[in-house]
Homo-oligomer: A and B are copies of this chain.
């Protein structure tokens, strides 16, 4: 069923979200005006309110969608050996973070600009993602494949280390993505006592 001309809602909506994500990540939520977002998309400011009730909802939507997409993209293999599961997690997390650097940056930089209800929703999703790594670490420790003092602290430490790659990695630099992932996996393996 081809659409007739007149409505551009299906393309403007995503464009608004893309522009907002990019601008919020680059300049900060508070520093970006609705007028700037509109100008990037190529519409007037008033038109944005056909796609979001207000600026705050636009941010909350970007962050919750990002966390849901992240959770949906991570496919654990609970029956595989723990070290294989951990390696898969490391490579997945690095690749996903680099592929969605704006969303990753935004979702731990602008949590403070969410309403309490929206904050709780995003925090809960993040907790579920962290839990999936903790489960791998526990399984590895129980199976004797890893040596670690505190699975929860190790979870936070490893996620911090892996996410940090977005702070310095540059496409076309000395190391490509594959080399970076290989090196990080070596560091993680050592950290969990499986060197």
B157-A161 in contact (CB<8A): yes
A149: interface (CB < 8 Å)? yes
Which B-chain residue is minimally distant from A169 (CB atoms)?
B156
Q: How far is the CB of A145 from chain B (nearest CB, A)?
A: 14
Spell out A's residues near B (CB within 8 Å). Answer: 26-31, 108-110, 112-113, 147, 149-150, 153-154, 156-161, 163-165, 167-168, 175, 180, 183-184, 186-188, 190-193, 195
> What are 29 A-to-B residue pairs whose CB atoms are below 8 Å?
A27-B112, A27-B113, A28-B29, A28-B31, A28-B110, A29-B31, A30-B31, A31-B113, A150-B175, A153-B183, A153-B184, A154-B183, A156-B164, A156-B167, A157-B161, A157-B164, A157-B165, A157-B184, A157-B187, A158-B161, A160-B160, A160-B161, A187-B191, A188-B191, A190-B191, A190-B192, A190-B195, A191-B191, A193-B195
In this complex, the member of A26, A31, A110, A147 whose beta carbon has the largest number of chain B beta carbons within 10 angstroms is: A31
Q: How many copies does the complex hold?
A: 2
Main secondary structure of the interface of A (DSSP, over half): helix
Contacts of A161 in B (CB 8 A): 157-158, 160-161, 164
**Contact check: which of B31, B153, B165, B175 meets A175 at CB < 8 Å?**
B153
B160-A113 in contact (CB<8A): no
In angstroms, Cα B27 to Cα A182, docked, is 37
**Contact check: which of B158, B180, B190, B195 meets A153 at CB < 8 Å?**
B180
